[in-house]
Structure 1
C-alpha cells in the first residue's frame, strides 16, 4: 500500500520507546512520562457525569460552549495578563491538537518553523506531517536554556513563518520571565497564538482538553481547521473543564505544593548524589546532565538504566540533538519511588 511520504518518515517518540519498555516491567520506577499521579478533582468528574446524564451528549459548537469560552477569556486576562474576547478562544482536543491546528492555519507547505532544541518531540512530528521545515534554535546552558532573541533573528529567512516557544519548557523545566516573553512577543508583533491545557493543572491528562487564544482575524480559520480533525471536543468534557476552571481551586494548590516539594527533593538528592541538575522553575521535569560520564550515549544510558536498575527516564536525544548528554526525569511519581529512582540514577551516572 502506498503511504503518505511525510507520514511514513515521521520519527517515533523516544519517550514512548522507553515507556513501552517500562510497561513490560511491573517493578519499574516510572520517571519517564509527565503524567500526574493525582486523580482529577471529584467535582470535575462529577460535572461531566452530570452533564451527560442531563443530555449533553450531542454535537456542540466546534469552538466550544459559550460559558466555557467566556470563563477562559476571563482566565487569560486574570492569570496571563492580556485581553481576549470569548470569540478569540477555541477549545481544543488538548493543547497538542490545538498546536497542530494552529500550525495548519498559519503555515503553508515548505514554510519554516523555528522550533526549540531540545523540545517536546511532537513538535517535529507535527511540522513533518504538515510538510513544514523545522529549523531548530538552541536552548543552551549559557542562556539558562531559554530562547535568545538575537540568536533567533540570525535564523530568520524569507520562508520563516512561525516561532514556536514552549514555556514552561518540556523537557528542561525552565520558565521564560516577563521581560523575555515581552521581547519574544515584540519579535513577532500582533501575531501571537497562545496554547494552554487543563492536563497538568487539573490532573486531566486523559480528558484531552485545552484551548487556544488567537488573534481575531484568524479565529475562523483555526475553527475550520479544527473541524476537519475532531469536529468538536467531547461535550461532557467541556462541562468538566468549566467546572475545573470555575470551581474550587484548593486541589490545584495541594498538587502545586506537592510538586514543589518533590522538585526540592529531587534537587537535594541530585546534589547529594553528585548529579548536575539545574533547579526547575516550572513544569515538573528535571534535566540531568550525564554527558561527562556517558558522552554521546543518552539513549543507550536510558535503556541500560531501565534494564539494569529498573528506572525509566527519557533520553535527552528524544528531544533533539541538543539533548545529547542529558536525560529527563519527571517528579510526577510518588515520593518514595522518586527518592529511590533518583538514588539509582545517581549511582548509574557517577558509578559510586
Structure 2
C-alpha cells in the first residue's frame, strides 16, 4: 500500500478522544472527559429540522449559507460586539471545527506561523499542521491566571507570523479575556499586521464577567478579525454541525471558493434548525447556563474539601484542576490508571499543551450526581502523602 502523506502521519493523536474512547469501552465508567451537553434539544429546533425534510428542501444551499441564517448569526455577533454586522459578513460552516479549517486555509500558506495558546484546544495546532503551517505556542502560565501576556506573544513574532488565535471563554481553562486585554491583543495584531482568528464557541456561558469579542475593536466593516461561532455548545446541537464565521467585508468570494472545494455547503435541515435556535425561545440557554454554574460551584466545593488546587472558571463548562501531586510527571498515563482503578475519565492537561502537565480538565456539563461522584474518587494531596 502507498504511504500516507508524512505531514498527516506526524499529526499527534487527540488525547481527549483517547481517554474518552477508553471510557466508552469501560462498563459503567463516569465520563467527565468530553464536553457533550446533556439536555434534550428544544422541540421547536427539532421541528424546524423535520419541517425542512417534510417539504423536501434537501437540495444544495448557497456556499455561504441560507440568507436568513446568515442574518441571524450576524445579529448575534452584532449583539456581542455592539456593532451593526452585515449579513454578508456571516459565512455558515459545518460546525466550529470546519470553520476553523476554512479560516486558516484562507490565511495561511505553507511555512507560515500561527500563534496558538498553550494550554489550548488541540485542533488549533492540528489544523495548522494539516495546512503545512507552523503552530507556535504562546504561554498561558498558572502564575498569571492562565491569561495571555502581550509581551510573551510579541516575543514570539517573526517575519512568518500571520495569525494570532484567541479563545475566550477558554477550552480547557474556563478563563475569560477582559475587555482591556482583548483590546490590547487587537492593538498588538494591528501593530504587526496580523490576522486574528477568535474562537468563541462558549460565548453564551460566562459567570459574573462579560464575554467580550475582539470584533468590538475591529471597526465597523472589519479589518483583521475572523470570529468563529457555533451552536454546538450554546444549544446542545453537537451532532448537527452548524456554526458560522464572521469575517471582514470582502472575503466572501474567496471563502465560497474554499467552501466549494471542501464541503460545498451546509445541510439545509441543520441550517433551519439553527435559524429556529437563534430566533426562537432562549430558555435552553438560560437553563443550561444556570446548570453549568451550579455544577461548577458544586465541583469547586469538592475540590476545596480535598485541598486540590484549581482555576476558578469564569466561563465555558470545564474545571481545570492541578493533580500534579498525584500524577508523577505524566498526567496522560495517570488518567488511564485513574480510569482503570476508579472508572472515571478526565482529560489529561497535556492534551492541551505542555503547560498542562499535571493538570486535568473536568467537564461540568453532564449530570450533577455523576459529576460529583466522579470527583469524590479523585485522590487528595493528603492521600499522596
Per the TM superposition, whether the score is higher than 0.5 is yes
Return the offset for 1:39.
2.1
Q: Which residue of 2 aligns with 1:92?
A: 93
Q: Which residue of 2 aligns with 1:285?
A: 318
| Cα distance in structure 2, aligned partners of 1:245 and 1:350 | 48
Task: After superposition, give the CA deviation of every residue in 1:239-272 in whole Å (9 maximum; x if it has no partner).
Answer: 0000000000012111111111001111111101
Structure 2, unaligned runs of 5 or more? 191-222
Q: Which residue of 2 aligns with 1:193?
A: 226
Return the offset for 1:146.
1.5
Q: Describe the SS at the equivalent of 1:163.
A: strand
In the alignment, structure 1 residue 179 sits paired with structure 2 residue 180: yes
Q: Which residue of 2 aligns with 1:31?
A: 32
Return the offset for 1:10.
1.3
Question: Cα 1:230–1:274, aligned 2, differ >3 Å: closer, same or farther?
Answer: same
Q: Which moved more, 1:88-97 or 1:341-350?
A: 341-350
Q: Which residue of 2 aligns with 1:239?
A: 272
| Cα distance in structure 2, aligned partners of 1:174 and 1:94 | 22
Question: Cα 1:110–1:51, aligned 2, differ >3 Å: closer, same or farther?
Answer: same
Return the offset for 1:91.
0.4
Q: Describe the SS at the equivalent of 2:377.
A: helix
Q: C-alpha root-mean-square deviation of aligned residues, in Å?
A: 1.4
Q: Which residue of 2 aligns with 1:305?
A: 338
Return the offset for 1:4.
1.3
Trace 1:114-133 onto structure 2 (pairs within 5 A).
Answer: 114-133=115-134
In the alignment, structure 1 residue 327 sits paired with structure 2 residue 328: no
Trace 1:23-62 onto structure 2 (pairs within 5 A).
Answer: 23-62=24-63
Trace 1:203-214 onto structure 2 (pairs within 5 A).
Answer: 203-214=236-247
Q: Which residue of 2 aligns with 1:160?
A: 161
| Cα distance in structure 2, aligned partners of 1:351 and 1:311 | 18
C-alpha contact (below 8 Å) 1:294/1:349 kept by paired residues: no
Normalised TM-score (structure 2): 0.89
Return the offset for 1:166.
0.8
C-alpha contact (below 8 Å) 1:31/1:338 kept by paired residues: yes
Return the offset for 1:349.
8.4
Q: Describe the SS at the equivalent of 1:173.
A: coil
In the alignment, structure 1 residue 223 sits paired with structure 2 residue 256: yes
Question: Cα 1:48–1:285, aligned 2, differ >3 Å: closer, same or farther?
Answer: same
Q: Which moved more, 1:71-80 or 1:336-345?
A: 71-80
| Cα distance in structure 2, aligned partners of 1:195 and 1:349 | 43
Q: Which moved more, 1:65-74 or 1:105-114?
A: 65-74
Return the offset for 1:143.
2.0
Normalised TM-score (structure 1): 0.97
| Cα distance in structure 1, aligned partners of 2:337 and 2:170 | 26
In the alignment, structure 1 residue 271 sits paired with structure 2 residue 304: yes
Return the offset for 1:351.
4.1
Q: Which residue of 2 aligns with 1:135?
A: 136
Q: Describe the SS at the equivalent of 1:91.
A: strand
Q: Which residue of 1 aligns with 2:373?
A: 340
Return the offset for 1:218.
2.1
Match of 1:255 among 269, 275, 288: 288
Task: After superposition, give the CA deviation of every residue in 1:52-97 in whole Å (9 maximum; x if it has no partner).
Answer: 1112111010111011111111111113333321111100000100
Q: Which residue of 1 aligns with 2:114?
A: 113
In the alignment, structure 1 residue 82 sits paired with structure 2 residue 83: yes
